[in-house]
Amino acid sequence: MIRVKICGINDAAAMRAAVEAGADLVGFVFFPPSPRAVTPARAADLVQPGPARVGLFVDPSDEAVAAVLDAVPLDIIQLHGEETPARCAAVRARFGLPVMKALGIAAREDLAQLAEYAPAVDHFLLDAKAPPGAPLPGGNAAPFDWSVLAGASVPRPWLLAGGLTPENVKRAIEIAGAPGVDVSSGVEARRGVKDPALIARFVSAARA
């Protein structure tokens, strides 16, 4: 079954919708510039049994990750900045949790990074590169050419991300050959505010 991650959960209705829809993973954004950012205490309040809990960080210090883990029982650490393979390996070793590394993909050459990162990470999130001038390194509703991934051998379990919506997710999965997907903007009523009905539609469209 296609694995689905709903990212940027920041209210109880969105969390409920993700659980009811059977999402496999939910993401909490610990990056203050994001309109989806939550504090560790808020994420701890939102946690529900069911989906794996992913903490999204952008070039975090060890102290920042430790402060979150003191409050929230995370299952996976998502690194969505410029973290090197060595930094990913250090985070994994220090916190004893699987690391999901986000990599920006635009062309076939970008897949060369997969081999460099594979020994240091447990999952990949293959996302669009941030458009020029975008305020965030991800969560920009920007798709990329999914055919770049067609037939690619990705050396770790992975999710496809970037501009996915209930309308395009099925086609994206088919073109990229993705085993799973991750969405944020495409299930929002407005930037930073999740729409429970769109969450339900997205999960069912991904698995249709």
Ligand X SMILES: O=C(O)c1ccccc1N[C@@H]1O[C@H](COP(=O)(O)O)[C@@H](O)[C@H]1O
Q: Is the dihedral of CA 34, 200, 149, 56 positive or negative?
A: positive
Q: Which of 9, 10, 18, 36 binds ligand X (CB under 6 A)?
A: 36
Query: Whose Cβ is closer to ligand X: residue 93's or residue 148's?
Result: 148
Decide if residue 129 touches ligand X (CB under 6 A).
no
Strands (E), the chain: 3-7, 25-29, 52-57, 76-79, 99-105, 123-128, 158-160, 180-183, 188-190, 193-194
Q: How far apart are CA 191 and CA 154, in angstroms?
A: 31
The CB-nearest residue to ligand X is 139
Q: How far apart are CA 21 and CA 46, in angstroms?
A: 16
Decide if residue 136 touches ligand X (CB under 6 A).
yes
Residues 60-89 that bind ligand X (CB under 6 A): 80
* SS3 letters across 70-98: HHCCCCEEEECCCCCHHHHHHHHHHHCCC
Q: Is the dihedral of CA 131, 135, 138, 141 positive or negative?
A: negative
Query: Segment near ligand X (CB under 6 A), from 12-20, 43-51, 62-70, 136-144?
Result: 136-144
For residue 115, the one-letter residue type is A
Q: Which of 161, 173, 199, 203 binds ligand X (CB under 6 A)?
A: 161
Distance of CA 148 to the CA centre of its chain: 19
Q: How far is the CB of 118 from ligand X (least distance, A)?
A: 19
Query: Segment near ligand X (CB under 6 A), from 61-69, 108-116, 157-165, 194-202?
Result: 157-165
Q: How far is the CB of 187 from ligand X (least distance, A)?
A: 8
Q: How far is the CB of 37 from ligand X (least distance, A)?
A: 7
Query: Whose Cβ is closer to ligand X: residue 140's or residue 176's?
Result: 140
Q: Which of 138, 166, 180, 196 binds ligand X (CB under 6 A)?
A: 138
Q: Which residues are catalytic?
A: 7, 127
User: 130, 142 in Cβ contact below 8 A?
Assistant: yes
Q: How far apart are CA 60 and CA 33, in angstroms?
A: 13
Q: Which of 25, 26, 58, 88 binds ligand X (CB under 6 A)?
A: 58
Residue ranges binding ligand X (CB under 6 A): 7-8, 27, 29, 31, 34, 36, 56, 58, 80, 125, 127, 136-142, 161-164, 182-186
